[in-house]
Chains A and B, each alone.
Chain A
Amino acid sequence: MPPTPTKERTPRAEKGHPSGDPRFQLIDRTLKRLQYQQDALIEVLHTAQEAFGFLAEDLLIYIARQLKLPLSWVYGVATFYHFFSLKPQGEHNCIVCMGTACYVKRAAEIVAALQAEFGVEAGHTTPDGKFTLLTARCLGSCGLAPVLVLDGEVLARETPESTVSKVRARLAGAAATNGHGASVAQPALQEVEAV
């Protein structure tokens, strides 16, 4: 396998074979482990999202071919679950927990503050691709409410002001260290609000 693909290029699956992008090997491994069973679609989508950060069209076509499933079936499953994202995510992301305990402790005000400050609706990415604002159903850390996850780091007992300043610092930091090409952050806890 040629191990030097360009990272930025969208993966392309030709005739059911990976383009050479090593990330496809991860998917192939999962497919093999699950014996190409159609029932394994969700597991395969999990692997794909983990490897690529989001589910591009070509990726869905590749998975559908490998599992011998109709395209609309695969698309239907991928869009049913909020975990799967069909669009690329921002360089930085902030997931605000909107579970009951956090809501009671006014997490909605944090979301509103972030929306106002960065001009982005929950579930969306800023036009410059720098920042994605997401909300989650419940991160199960109710004792620490309100909770949010900034680039995979759990922050407890936040206020609108503290969150805005932390996100601002994060974005400024990114601008300064843009050189090393920040990869798409893969937070441990993520529930992506659908389109």
Chain B
Amino acid sequence: MNRVELQAIAQRELDQRQSYRCRLLCCASTPCISSGGTAVQKAMEEAIKANGLNAEVVTVATGCMGPCSRGPMVTVQVQGQPDVIYERVTPEVAEQIVARHAVAGEPVADHVMPSNLPFFTKQTKVVLSNSGLIDPERLEDYIAVGGYSALAHVLREMTPEEVCAEISKSGLRGRGGAGYPTGLKWDLVRKAPGERKYVVANGDEGDPGAYMDRTLMESDPHRVLEGMAIAGYAVGATQGFIYVRGEYPIAAKRLEKAIRAAERRGLLGSRILESTFNFRIDIRIGAGAFVCGEETALMASIMGRRGQPVPRPPYPAQSGLWGCPTLINNVETFGCIVPIIQKGASWFASMGTAKSKGTKIFALAGKVNNTGLIEVPMGITLREIVFDIGDGIPGGRKFKAAQTGGPSGGCIPAEHLDTPVDYESLRALGSIMGSGGLIVMDDQSCMPDVAKFFMEFCMDESCGKCVPCRVGTVQMYRILQRITNGSATLRDLEILEELCEMVRDTSLCGLGQSAPNPVLSTLRYFREEYLQHIQEHRCPAGVCQMTEVPIIELVHRPIARAAAASPVAS
């Protein structure tokens, strides 16, 4: 395949689209499938057949459209008319959509989601621009919207140095959470001496409450592959790995299919687009270990070992997979590459804040009316996300905190709702951008309990290599357990804070270093709540059971030996 053929495929595909008067896009992402999306598409196909519309109406299984809690979602595209988005579509509604909207052009009003909702208008789709509009399982769909033209452009017109410079100029920073400048990283790997180099896409999205990477891999797999191939060209690698979390079977299947299709068309593999550039991509499936999101642990896992981090330096850019220079970027970071090449670094840099450019995808969840996947320009305020896009808290309850960054992040209280969302501002608040999970909590959430939840996570996911993380997380968890069951003392709180600092400063990898963040941030903003648990022996949110007492109070209290009464021992 060469550039001309690529354009020909795109044209043919567009022509074919034109031949249909109406296209019914059905979301086939995990959440919509879970809510019955497959049956909806089937019902539509049957209705098309029944109405004899095979030649003019077609259904397309697409990626995510965003408002996951309102699924299954369907978008109706009628030629010459604006797209109409339907929510909560059942097979019955699907039939009506075909019968009324597709045939007569009159929308089924009950299920239409108004397109002027802030949920849509406040978003800027860059990485997700194809998501929900193309069939992720068809390479031609991707090519029709300009797919692989960025790779073709890079291979023909740009040197590797120029690619790295362009990415640097865009101001793109790592979307995995830490925010390291992507262009700088690419350049480091490019300059690193070595015959063999590797490119790794980190799709081990382990943060609970985050599914941006999965959605991108499910909805637009070729974009990730194209981004990786451009990276491969820029750094001089011929082999890439995409590490997919084990819990994402659909993403893995679509990526596998996408790789095969791209290889068949000469868009991956040897002599890509008739150039001298060779680049293969293999999939590695994770096996359930959060720590593998850490880059050195991820590499250990790709090499088939226990996913334990090793101290850096040496950094992967110098010595990574099998000792070779390795570029590791998050899946979403790779998703930003194609638009940067297509529309230019200055276009990308024109969005966002001074130090955080472009857009960021968040998985909005928790106690908020509109949950789902959103893409917003950097610098948007939390208030806009929660109250405009998210449409506020259900049941008229009070906003209490937004949790970002998962187990490595923190809780941001109401007084900071007007903070712009960018790497530095969130860090200053004691949280992090993280990979993009954003969980909204109302006054029914107990902050020590939330801290305990995340600490249990870190304790369970600690690899066990370094002492502070292995044992420190258990000790912190124990104290939080005492706080939430009523048996803690003020001394415990003192020890907890001291432990937080120590674990943060002495742990070997990012997991341990950031494990205290949820505790530190809740202590910072909700200390009062901790004190109420300890001193007043009550949980203001009504979550904690508070059934125990501190050990010294056992003097005055008969020790209940429930088990003594019933002969359970055997």
Q: Footprint of B on A, CB under 8 Å?
A: 37-43, 45-46, 76-77, 80-84, 98-101, 103-105, 136-145, 147, 154, 156, 188-192
Contact = CB atoms under 8 A, between A and B. Distances in A.
Contacts of A45: 287
- Interface-central residue, A38, A41, A98, A138, by most chain B CB under 10 Å: A138
A77 B367 contact: no
B120 interface: no
B160 interface: no
B287 A82 contact: yes
Interface stretch (B39-47, B243-251, B344-352, B508-516): B243-251
A42 B301 contact: yes
Given A137-B206, A143-B31, 20 more contacts: A43-B284, A43-B285, A46-B285, A80-B307, A82-B288, A100-B406, A101-B208, A137-B208, A138-B211, A140-B205, A141-B30, A141-B68, A142-B68, A142-B209, A142-B437, A144-B68, A144-B71, A145-B371, A156-B34, A156-B35
B7 interface: no
A189 B31 contact: no
10 tightest CB-CB pairs across the interface, nearest first?
A: A143-B68, A140-B211, A99-B208, A81-B287, A142-B365, A82-B288, A83-B288, A143-B69, A138-B208, A101-B365
B289 A80 contact: yes
A83 B284 CA distance: 14
Given A46-B285, A100-B439, A101-B209, A77 B457 contact: no
A43 B307 CA distance: 14
A156 B209 CA distance: 15
B30 A76 contact: no
Given A46-B285, A138-B208, A144-B31, A100 B453 contact: yes
Interface in B1-56: 30-31, 33-35
Contacts of B391: none
A28 B433 CA distance: 44
A17 to B, nearest CB: 23
A75 to B, nearest CB: 10
Nearest to B249: A188
Contact of B371 (A39, A99, A142): A142
B384 interface: no
With most chain B CB atoms within 10 A of its CB, the pick from A37, A43, A80, A84 is: A80
A63 B394 CA distance: 52
Contacts of B290: 137
Given A104-B366, A154-B34, A144 B208 contact: no
A105 B30 CA distance: 20
A105 B366 CA distance: 7
Contacts of B208: 98-101, 103, 137-138
A77 B285 contact: no
Interface in B81-96: none
A192 to B, nearest CB: 7
A188 B285 CA distance: 13
A28 B520 CA distance: 50
B453 A141 contact: no
B359 interface: no
Interface of B: 30-31, 33-35, 67-71, 205-211, 214, 246-250, 284-290, 301-308, 363, 365-367, 371-372, 403, 406, 437, 439, 441, 445, 450, 453-454, 457, 463
B457 A140 contact: no
B205 to A, nearest CB: 7
A83 B303 CA distance: 17
A45 B288 CA distance: 13
A104 B304 contact: no
B287 A104 contact: no
A42 B304 contact: yes
Contact of A42 (B287, B308, B437, B453): B287
Given A80-B307, A191-B247, A145 B365 contact: yes
B365 A100 contact: yes
A140 B372 contact: no
A192 B34 CA distance: 20
Nearest to B464: A80
B338 to A, nearest CB: 23
A191 B246 contact: yes
A140 B304 contact: no
B214 A41 contact: no
Contact of B304 (A41, A142, A154, A156): A41
B305 A104 contact: no
A45 B284 CA distance: 12
Nearest to B33: A154
Contacts of A144: 31, 34-35, 68-69, 71
Contacts of B69: 143-144
Contact of B437 (A80, A100, A143, A145): A100
A161 to B, nearest CB: 19
A125 to B, nearest CB: 18
Instruction: Among A46, A101, A144, A191, find the residue whose CB has the most chain B CB atoms closer than 10 A.
Output: A101
Contacts of A82: 287-289
B209 A100 contact: yes
Contacts of B445: 104
Contact of B287 (A38, A84, A147): A84
Contacts of B308: 80
A80 B306 contact: yes
A39 B304 contact: yes
A138 B209 contact: yes
Contact of A83 (B31, B209, B246, B406): B246
Given A101-B439, A192-B288, A138 B304 contact: no
A77 B34 contact: no
A137 B248 CA distance: 12
A141 B68 CA distance: 8
B441 A139 contact: no
7 contacts: A39-B303, A77-B305, A82-B288, A101-B371, A138-B208, A143-B371, A144-B31
B298 to A, nearest CB: 12
B35 to A, nearest CB: 6
B451 to A, nearest CB: 12
Nearest to A141: B31
B287 A138 contact: no
Given A77-B305, A100-B366, A42 B30 contact: no
A46 B244 CA distance: 13
Contact of B34 (A43, A98, A141): A141
Nearest to B206: A137
Given A81-B307, A100-B437, A189-B249, A138 B288 contact: no
A139 B288 CA distance: 12
A191 B71 CA distance: 25
Contacts of B286: 81, 83
A81 B288 contact: yes
Nearest to B292: A81
